[in-house]
Chain A
Amino acid sequence: MRDALKEMGVFVKHLLSVRDLKKEDVLSYFRKIEKMEEEVRKGRTNLLEDKIIATLFFEPSTRTKLSFQTAAKRLGAQVVNFNADASSLKKGESLMDTIRIIDGYVDAIVIRHEIEGAARFASEIATHPVINAGDGANQHPSQTLIDLYSIKKLRGKISGLNVTLFGDLKHARAMHSLFYGVAMFNRNIALVAPPGLSFDERTVEEVETEFGVKVTVKEKPEIDDCDVLYVCRIQKERFSDPYEAERVKKEFMLTQETLKKAKKDMIILHPLPKIDEIAHEVDSDSRAKYFQQAQLGVPVRMAILADLFGKV
């Protein structure tokens, strides 16, 4: 079916990886997101009233899943959900068969899976659009679009800023995606991570070569010249020594003390959920923008969904 569609020149759009996007694509998404923000202000729309969207989350999710479902409903689409624990996967069905069957029921598939490359694989089987809502430690492109749009909206611009990615960069898919996305717009990127938890040298080299950016790697929480501080969680289970884990977590915890040296107009973003990497006292700091960032999840995902069908 898929091959037949290709031969007929039918092009199916997907959102799988930030690596597939160019700067112009991101800017085009920004314009579409602005339109969707307007739609949200007006209320529910009927842009996708004849569509059914499947949300297939093989891994736990709260924000991503609910915001995709809310986005679909705000566009007038219907949503069918999937419970991996109660599905035929428990009987050993392959992902290939699962996608093939569900693709026959719906108009688009939003998928999160712990296996890296699962969304791209699904896109090769499906005849309808596929959105990657996170595949292992690989990619999370819709989160990157939320992050980039948040920077643009909350700082008034996106280029020419000093961006710092802060925390366990190695294991966070949001960071892998964002590193690439931020490099499309900014020349100076700092990576602040405990030893062994930064990106590998190849990833840094790829981004430096591809975008001609200057990447600074730091192992201490220095944020003095930072305009955008993007924080992610340091997970205890990544350390073999629990005392070392505790020491590093304390050192990298964002507190009012850490923020004393930071710029007054810096913004702090986080993909959420945050656990204890940001002290509660920081939530009331005017620079903390992560809750506003999370609210943008719905219009961004509305733009992504509507764009798949050429409706925005």
Chain B
Amino acid sequence: MPLKVEKIENGTVIDHISSGEGLRVMKILGIGLGFSARFALIANVKSKKMGKKDILKIEEKYIDEKDFDKIALVAPSASVNIVKGGRVAKKKNVAMPARIDGVLACPNPKCITNFEQVASAFFVEKKTLRCAYCERSFSAGELI
């Protein structure tokens, strides 16, 4: 019996997430304990284009457009669909942002962001992300 997850009438569907990266997409969007909206992560869905993919559906909640590109850090092939009244009202392929503010914690224990009340900030470079404060660089995997 195939696993079925209902279509949503209103909310956000993040499609074309590389298989296995769905949980990290949830993490980067702050979806976890205390998240009030109903959501479903469907992992390892068959995909013509990708072989296997993950899909994240969030009901009655629209992901802020400024957060779209953060998803690119862990799922660069993902697309974000804003669904209204059962129809796709907006669709956007994610793109790597130049800078990410306030989402990721700097793993350097001597970084000022771990001492003072200041939001973290990372510059996205070719293969790594560089902390705007302590200037150390990290892979996406080290940060998420």
Contact = CB atoms under 8 A, between A and B. Distances in A.
Interface of A: 17, 19, 94-96, 114-118, 120-121, 124, 135-139, 202-203, 206, 209
Contact of A117 (B112, B126, B128, B137): B112
Given A120-B132, A209-B126, A115 B112 contact: yes
B110 A136 contact: yes
A94 B135 CA distance: 22
Given A114-B110, A116-B111, A202-B128, 14 more contacts: A19-B135, A94-B117, A95-B112, A95-B115, A115-B115, A116-B110, A116-B133, A117-B133, A120-B132, A121-B112, A121-B133, A137-B110, A202-B137, A209-B126
A114 B110 CA distance: 8
A120 B128 CA distance: 21
A55 to B, nearest CB: 19
A115 B117 contact: no
B141 to A, nearest CB: 13
Interface residues of B, number: 19
B116 to A, nearest CB: 6
B128 A115 contact: no
A94 B137 contact: no
- What are the 8 A-B residue pairs with the smallest beta carbon separation, nearest first? A117-B133, A116-B134, A117-B112, A117-B134, A121-B112, A116-B110, A115-B112, A118-B112
Most buried by B among A19, A135, A138: A138
A139 B135 CA distance: 9
B70 to A, nearest CB: 21
B109 to A, nearest CB: 10
A176 to B, nearest CB: 8
Nearest to A203: B137
Most buried by B among A17, A115, A120, A203: A115
